[in-house]
Amino acid sequence: MSNVNISKLKEIVGEANVIDSSSEMAKYLKGPGKPAVVVLPGKTSEVSSIVKLANEQNVKLAVGGAVVNTQGITGGIAMVMSRMNQIVEMDKLNLVAIVEPGLLHKDFILKVAETGLNFPPEPYEVETSSVGGCFSIGDSDSKSFEYGPTRTFLLGFEMVLPTGEILEIGNKCIKNVSGLDFIHFAVGSQGTFGIFTKLLVKLLPQPEAKKAVIGTFASLHKANATFNTLIKRNVHPTRMNLINASFAKIAKPGTEGQLVIIDLQGFKESGKNIANEVASVLTLAGGFDVKIIEDAVEYDEVINGWLKVRAELNAKPERTVEFVVGPMKMPQALAQLEALTGDLGAYPGIIVEGLLGYVGLALPEGTEKLALATKVNKLAMSLGGNVKGLLGHKLKAEVYNDAEMWKQTTSLLNELRQQFDPKGILSPGVSLEA
Amino acid sequence: MLSQTVVKRLKEIVGEKNVVTDKVGLLTYGYDGTLLSGEALGVVSPTTTDQVVEIVKLMNEHDIKLVPRGAGTNESGGTIPSQEAIVISFTKMTKIHEIDTENFVAVVEPGVINFDLQVELAKQNFYFPPDPSSFKASTIGGNLGECSGGPKCFKYGVTRDYMLGLEVVLPNGKVIQTGGRNFQSEPGYDLTRIIVGSEGILGLVTKVFVRILPIPRAKKTMLALYDKVEDASQTVADIVAAGIIPTTLELMDNLLINTTEDFTHAGLPRDAGAVLIIEVDGYPEDMDEQVKTIGEIASKIAKEFKVAQTAVEVDQIWTSRRSAFGSVARVRPSYGVNDITVPRSNFPKAIGGVLKVAKDFGVTIGVVAHAGDGNLHPLILFDQRNKEETETVHKAEQALCMMALDLEGTISGEHGIGLVKKKYLDKEFTPAAMEAFRKIKRSFDPTNRFNPGKIIDL
Ligand SMILES: Cc1cc2nc3c(=O)[nH]c(=O)nc-3n(C[C@H](O)[C@H](O)[C@H](O)COP(=O)(O)OP(=O)(O)OC[C@H]3O[C@@H](n4cnc5c(N)ncnc54)[C@H](O)[C@@H]3O)c2cc1C
Ligand SMILES: Cc1cc2nc3c(=O)[nH]c(=O)nc-3n(C[C@H](O)[C@H](O)[C@H](O)COP(=O)(O)OP(=O)(O)OC[C@H]3O[C@@H](n4cnc5c(N)ncnc54)[C@H](O)[C@@H]3O)c2cc1C
């Protein structure tokens, strides 16, 4: 039985914005849990009232942009932010925007581009990811070498805390060290410190020119070897990515082989020269169909193909092993990985973000993720890296044989969470134990 | 006073020569870049993480607090032992463990001087972008403690953006590692980010993984001279509006032009109202067009615009800028450094505001600014021995802070809060935000052992 006071919710957001029939709820939900109700707030004060209500009744609540992950909120409230989707302000002079969290990430990128500006972070799920979710996950992506990870683009926010209180912080200054840096600490907190209700986002001018160089390779390892060549030549593109043959078919239908995508965002003059340099490196290394892409439509197609593959991996974290090594160690990493897994071609897919030394490996159904991740982490550590994120930390501590450190880390994380959310109301599906 | 037992134990932990308890010795560690001072119970300089752990545990047993310290150049009172505490000085942890240019990482101890790291990196044609003007003296630990800026932030960001991971000794004496050697290693929460800029109140940093970059292939340094400082501020706004991201946009007013000239004889015209130092970097083939655009924008207002032709010229320009703080000491015995920051579009208004404060309070203010970041350092010149004048200066500083907040800015862009600006913090932050800071402090340091009294009280 659920304690959710549906009629009270209706009072807060209006009848039309509370949905409690399971057939209608379905399109807002994903994951294993069965929340009692979906609620769509229209403004900050409503978000606050809903969270206060959840506290009073000790009901769990999770939030999403268009779709909510229901993990941990059976009998609880799923809060969908899609009605809060306005750009409150686009300030070209200061290169910032104030935006509501429910705006879809892809729509935000378009709106920003229309004003001649640039919001670099990649959407996580192309179709459903929201701006609030982007900062809530707070990842890095294949453009981070040049632009910095997602957190770089947050200057402030309004947030409803797990107690329902409203917190505002930050300003339009690009340098700000006042107080403790809760602004950037909140990035990546996955809805555990609070619900973003407004974001003050840093933007950049659009690059003068965008180009891509693509090429196809028969061998994954040969394709990857070109990245070391480029780094040694002191060429640091915006993206330097590799998609294996099976995923390449999703990214660019008709591709036969491993697809290399080099994205060059910058100035016209250098862009031309670097594109030529990259094209010759790819060709010399045995790449075929090497092509410099200047046409805007074709360029977008290539990039969107990349994002589609990325989303494919992002959607199945339980069936993906992600790790990072020193970028120049990638050839060894792939060789050693293959020694562990056997022919990588037999896997559903693999991608490499060359500038970051990142590998995402999609696992076949039935693979023991933890067992593989443990081995992969050892491999990665010997090459100056580790498995990504919280899981990586746990595995690293295991390798150091330092249970104490892991214990200390998790107890600090849990203490922080508890300080902000004493009743454990928000985002219960998010685990800080790995 | 520390008991003999504690002193003895400290000496056992770090060695005789790394413990200071004599009056004169303590005095030297009682100062920083501000005009404040205090006296520590003792100063201890560990050389390893294990020693740091031992010290923290010992202090916990005896209920003694700790004030971490790098080079002590901060401008916020962050290293002043304002309460009964020992100072833990990191100046003997100066190892550069590793420079890995192939993978864009360096691993250093916190006491490494920023400049020393730059020198080692330069040998391999790399650099560490954060370079506060104090970089010849300040430490990486101090840089991260304050989340320091510098002249390159416009394009390259601040210290926060170059910290990949940390080894941290917590107030309970336990060691954790945050982040790692890349962007994707944070354990659930971005602990690295909350330590950066926390001024030593959350943890003692004993190892730092920093991101390093290849030195850009080309760089152009330009100089624009103006009759009035307001004119210079207009060029700044125009450059930003044109969508150009220079590496650097530094401003000095007439007073600073003259004091730095006394010092460096770089050849800046003493009658100029203001000078802007503008730098762009990147690929050689992109330089000409950017220089041309900037030249066109600046020349609309500037009385002179020139592009430095030789490395010597570039050096001279930077020597002037870097000596700015120190140089004013010849005019009056004391100066107060402010660190207000406003949204870039409000920069001309902030310049106006500074001029007004100088007039309203009858004080002499020189302005040096990281103009592209909207970050101003109005230097108020005075004589600390004159009580009345000192009072007026404090009032003027408060007025500057309030002016910045009125212009939707912040009281600190890069120097931190420490003791000096703590009293204005609740003017900038709402009670909910102040409480969020306390929640964070409480999670790390429930009994307020590390750098007590800095930034916030529990
Ligand atoms: C650590 C992690 C674990 C994952 N586990 C799973 C899984 O088990 N099953 C699965 O199918 N997918 C999982 N994913 C993938 C994830 O569900 C989606 O791919 C991803 O969240 C982006 O798509 P979205 O539509 O949910 O985006 P969004 O709706 O934008 O949400 C992204 C994240 O941000 C949070 N969020 C959204 N809006 C706000 C806001 N305003 N304030 C605060 N937080 C907000 C959401 O709770 C969610 O965690 C996981 C992702 C991560 C990073
Ligand atoms: C002439 C001059 C020019 C300056 N120019 C700039 C500039 O351009 N940009 C700028 O941002 N700042 C500037 N500053 C301010 C100052 O130099 C910086 O804040 C610098 O980073 C401080 O480094 P430090 O080693 O002196 O640190 P300290 O002053 O010793 O310490 C700074 C803070 O960090 C803490 N801390 C130190 N080491 C550790 C550690 N290992 N673990 C945990 N906490 C620690 C301290 O407790 C303190 O709160 C300038 C100062 C001067 C005097």
CB A420 within 8 A of CB A186: no
- Confidence at residue B326, expressed as pLDDT on a 0 to 100 scale: 85
In a domain, B246, yes or no: yes
Ligand closest in space to the Cα of B250 = 2
Ligand 2: distance of its center to the CA of A145 in Å?
Answer: 27
A137 to chain B, any CB pair closer than 8 A? The answer is: no
Shared domain check, B246 and B319: yes
Residues 241-280 on A with a CB inside 8 Å of B are: 266-270, 273-274
**CA–CA distances in Å: residue A75 to residues A2, A56, A391:** 5, 15, 29
Option in A165, A269, A327 nearest B432 (CB): A165
Distance CA B323, CA B320 (A): 5
CATH of the domain at B14: 3.30.43.10
A349 to chain B, any CB pair closer than 8 A? The answer is: no
Strands A29-30, A61-64: pairing is: unpaired
Among A100, A124, A154, residue to substitute to test ligand 1 (most atoms within 8 Å of Cβ): A124
Residue of B5, B47, B37, B40 lying closest to B21 (CA atoms): B40
Distance CA B178, CA B209 (A): 10
Q: How far does CA A82 lie from the centroid of its chain?
A: 19
CB B148 within 8 A of CB B132: yes
Q: Which two tokens stand for residue A307?
A: 């994002």
A9-18, A127-136, A336-345, B230-239: the lowest-pLDDT one: B230-239
* Percent of chain B whose pLDDT exceeds 70: 100
End position of a domain, from candidates B153, B180, B214: B214
Which CATH number describes the domain made up of A6-80? 3.30.43.10
CB B78 within 8 A of CB B147: no
Neighboring chain B residues of A149 at a CB cutoff of 8 Å: 183
In a domain, B378, yes or no: no
Quote the radius of gyration of chain B (alpha carbons, Å): 22
Neighboring chain B residues of A390 at a CB cutoff of 8 Å: 187-188
Q: How many residues in total does chain A contain?
A: 434
Strand, helix or coil for residue A97: strand
**pLDDT above 90: residue B150:** no
**pLDDT above 60: residue B176:** yes
In a domain, B237, yes or no: yes
Distance CA B132, CA B152 (A): 9
What are the pLDDT digits (tens) for B64-83?
A: 999 999 999 999 999 999 99
Distance CA B254, CA B369 (A): 13
End position of a domain, from candidates B89, B118, B149: B89
Q: Which two tokens stand for residue B236?
A: 């700044």
| Helix locations, A322-388, DSSP H | 330-341, 369-382
Q: Which residue owns the Cα nearest ligand 1 atom 35?
A: A133
**pLDDT above 70: residue A206:** yes
Please give the span between the terminal C-alpha atoms of chain B, in angstroms, as a whole number: 25
**pLDDT above 90: residue A114:** yes
CB A101 within 8 A of CB A84: yes
Angle (CA) A168 A173 A178, round 5°: 60
CB A191 within 8 A of CB A428: no
Count of C-beta atoms within a 10 Å radius of residue A20: 16
Shared domain check, B113 and B191: yes
| CB-ligand 1 contact for A391 (6 Å cutoff) | no
Residue of B368, B200, B145 lying closest to B277 (CA atoms): B368
Buried-exposed string A291-329: b where 16+ CB fall within 10 A, e elsewhere: ebbeeeeebeebbebbbebbbbbbeeeebbbbbbbbbbb
In a domain, B21, yes or no: yes
Shared domain check, B68 and B37: yes
**pLDDT above 80: residue B424:** yes
In a domain, B194, yes or no: yes
Cβ neighbours for B17, distance < 8 A, ≥ 6 positions apart? none
Ligand 2: distance of its center to the CA of A408 in Å?
Answer: 28
Please give the span between the terminal C-alpha atoms of chain A, in angstroms, as a whole number: 30
In a domain, B443, yes or no: no
What are the pLDDT digits (tens) for A383-429?
A: 999 999 999 999 999 999 888 999 999 999 999 999 999 999 999 99
End position of a domain, from candidates B326, B352, B378: B326
Which class in CATH covers the domain with range A209-373? alpha beta
What are the pLDDT digits (tens) for B156-166?
A: 999 999 999 99
Ligand 1: distance of its center to the CA of B178 in Å?
Answer: 23
Shared domain check, B286 and B227: yes
**CA–CA distances in Å: residue B57 to residues A50, A264, A274, A284:** 45, 52, 55, 60
In a domain, B275, yes or no: yes
Shared domain check, B198 and B122: yes
Which CATH number describes the domain made up of A87-205? 3.30.465.10
Residues 77-136 on A with a CB inside 8 Å of B are: 91-96, 116
Structural domain boundaries in chain A: 6-80, 87-205, 209-373
DSSP secondary structure letter of residue A33:
-
Residue of B10, B3, B117, B113 lying closest to B55 (CA atoms): B10
Q: Which two tokens stand for residue A170?
A: 């930050």
Neighboring chain A residues of B456 at a CB cutoff of 8 Å: 179-180
| Helix locations, B200-283, DSSP H | 229-241, 254-264
CATH of the domain at B269: 3.30.70.2190
What are the pLDDT digits (tens) for A228-243?
A: 999 999 999 999 999 9
Residue of B155, B158, B144 lying closest to B199 (CA atoms): B144
Strand, helix or coil for residue B28: helix
Shared domain check, B153 and B197: yes
Query: Do the Cβ atoms of B436 and A384 come within 8 Å?
Result: no
Count of C-beta atoms within a 10 Å radius of residue B265: 11
Query: Do the Cβ atoms of A180 and B244 come within 8 Å?
Result: no
Single-letter residue type at B207: K
Query: Do the Cβ atoms of A419 and B442 come within 8 Å?
Result: yes
Distance CA B137, CA B70 (A): 9
| Helix locations, A26-153, DSSP H | 44-57, 105-114, 131-137, 144-147
At B105, the pLDDT band (50, 70, 90 cuts) reads very high
Distance CA B289, CA B285 (A): 9
Q: Which residue has the tokens 């005019």?
A: B331
Shared domain check, B51 and B148: no
Count of C-beta atoms within a 10 Å radius of residue B285: 17
CA-nearest residue to A434 within chain B is B188
CB A10 within 8 A of CB A18: yes
Shared domain check, B100 and B85: no
Shared domain check, B204 and B113: yes
CATH of the domain at B205: 3.30.465.10
Q: Which residue owns the Cα nearest ligand 1 atom 31?
A: A133
User: Considering its fold, how many domains does chain B have in total?
Assistant: 3
CB A189 within 8 A of CB B423: no
CB B380 within 8 A of CB B335: yes
Strands B65-69, B96-100: pairing is: unpaired
- Confidence at residue B35, expressed as pLDDT on a 0 to 100 scale: 87
Distance CA A302, CA A262 (A): 10
Q: How far does CA B318 lie from the centroid of its chain?
A: 17
Shared domain check, B158 and B232: no
At A225, the pLDDT band (50, 70, 90 cuts) reads very high
Compute the count of residue pairs across chains A and B with CB atoms less than 8 Å apart: 259
What is the extent of the structural domain holding B107? 96-214
Shared domain check, B208 and B100: yes
A185 to chain B, any CB pair closer than 8 A? The answer is: yes
Helix (H) or strand (E) holding B216: none
**pLDDT above 80: residue A2:** no
Residues 14-73 on A with a CB inside 8 Å of B are: none
Neighboring chain A residues of B282 at a CB cutoff of 8 Å: 266-267, 270
Distance CA A185, CA A135 (A): 11
Shared domain check, B190 and B148: yes
CA-nearest residue to A176 within chain B is B413
CA-nearest residue to A188 within chain B is B189
Q: What is the rounded average pLDDT of the residues A262-283?
A: 97
Report the gap between the CA of A253 and the closest CA in chain B (Å).
Answer: 30
In a domain, B370, yes or no: no
At B391, the pLDDT band (50, 70, 90 cuts) reads very high
Q: What is the rounded average pLDDT of the residues B210-228?
A: 96
At B240, the pLDDT band (50, 70, 90 cuts) reads confident
